[in-house]
Structure formats: C-alpha cells, structure tokens
Amino acid sequence: MTQKITKKPDRIKFFNEVREVLVNDFGAIGTHEDEYRVEYRMNTKAGPLDITIHKRDINEGKSPCTIFTRFDYALKGEELVGASVPSGKWNHHFETGTPPNLALNNIVYHFSRLMPTSLDVFMDETSLVPQAVLEGALEERNQRELRRLVDPPYMGQDGFGRTQAIDWLISHCEERFIYLYDSNANISQQLRDDSGRDVAYAFVHHWLDAYLDCPPDYRKKHPLLRTPDSSLQQTG
C-alpha cells in the first residue's frame, strides 16, 4: 500500500525533506524562520524567487505542505513556468493523503525547470570571467572615486570595507550576468560574440556607477542570492 501523508510525523518528515531539497538541490538561501513559517530566496532563469512554507500545515493537520513562491519579475516567471501576472505567484499545493514520494518528485520536477546556468557554464560559453571584468573596471577608475566603495563611518561596525565591497560586487556581477544570459537571448548572443568583453565591461561600469552612488542602498535594492566567497554577511 502506498504511504500517505496523513499523520503528524509523516507531515513533519515531508516538511523537512522539502527543506533539504530546496537548499541542497536548488541552492535556496534561508532568509527568515519563526514559529509560523520558513522563508527562502533562490536564483532562477527568470530571476530571484521568494519561497514561503507555513508551519501551520504540520501542526493543524491540513495539507502536508504548501509552497508559496513569487517571482520578482512576473513576466519572466510567466514565460518560464506560467506564473501569475502581475503578482508573480507560482504556488504548489499538496492535499492530505498525497503520497510523499509523488509530492517530492513533483517538487523536484517543477523546480528543476527553474535552475539557472552555472557560473562554470557561463564562463565556458562566453569566455568571460565576471571577477576579471570587475577588477578591470575598477582599474579604470581613479582612487578618489573608489573611496566610495567603503561605507560611510555612520554605518558603524556593520559597514562594508573595501575588501568586503569587492567580494560583494564579484558575487553581484556573477549573478547579474547569469540572469542576463538566461533571460535575454539578444544579450546572451552579444556576450558570446567577439565583442562580448566590451559588452560585459559596459554592464559592469553601469552597475559600479550605481553602487558607488550609495553602496548600502544599492546592496539593499539588489540582495545577493548567495553569500560571497569570503563568507561575509550582507548588511543594509
């Protein structure tokens, strides 16, 4: 007989399996957890995706799990997986009694469609290294201008220094290049062409200008979907 998700221990087990799949298989980053819900954010071919799973389903004997998600870019989400417009919602409901293996397989199938190009694939197909492009762009700026990489003194101990800022910008450029590569066929082709390096430098200079205008505000507006290689945490 096929096991059903009906009893509380089964619901708890399924809930934990869903969390493991989101984090280990799809790179979702935990952003919040309390007694009522857990929240994640992950990168996709359609841009950032917010994920919320309510714990009340476990405690109140309702459906074993409902995954609420919302794309930052609703039109891209609609194009990729049929997300709702203009809300960007793309939710997944599982009724009580759903076989756990079937429910988990459905999650893996649907979320696999979202997976973005890897950084290694991007670099291989474009011959571009985002870190090298950023470092080249920084070399073209004067040192007085680059003083603004460092957060103002009023940011206190949580403010970013130069090394932190560069680490953050490297990860930011990697994520934005991959998103452009996945979501815009025209830009994707330009990045693969002989002029791809010039196109990449133009984008990085544009992002750098916006960052230098007010680093804390820029980081808040463009939160990373993963921690920089230096394992530094975001602020702002």
pLDDT confidence band for 163 (50 / 70 / 90): very high
Taking the C-alpha atoms of residue 23 and residue 119, their distance in angstroms, rounded to an integer, is 18
For residue 230, pLDDT beyond 50:
no
Domain layout of the chain by residue ranges:
8-112, 119-221
Dig out the tokens for 176 from the structure: 């934005």
Query: Locate tokens 């230098």: which residue?
Result: 212
How are beta strands 92-94 and 37-42 bridged, if at all? unpaired
Instruction: Convert the pLDDT of each residue in 178-188 to its tens digit.
Output: 999 998 999 99
184-216 exposure pattern, b = at least 16 Cβ within 10 A, e = fewer? eeebbebbeeeebbebbbebbbebbeebbeebb
Taking the C-alpha atoms of residue 106 and residue 110, their distance in angstroms, rounded to an integer, is 6
pLDDT confidence band for 226 (50 / 70 / 90): low
- Segment among 31-40, 165-174, 178-187, 221-230 with least mean pLDDT: 221-230
Instruction: Convert the pLDDT of each residue in 74-110 to its tens digit.
Output: 999 999 999 999 999 999 887 777 777 888 898 999 9
Structure pTM?
Answer: 0.78
Q: How many CA atoms lie within 13 A of 88 on its CB side?
A: 14
Taking the C-alpha atoms of residue 127 and residue 119, their distance in angstroms, rounded to an integer, is 11
Helices (H), the chain: 8-20, 56-60, 74-81, 100-112, 119-126, 130-139, 143-146, 162-183, 185-192, 196-213, 215-221
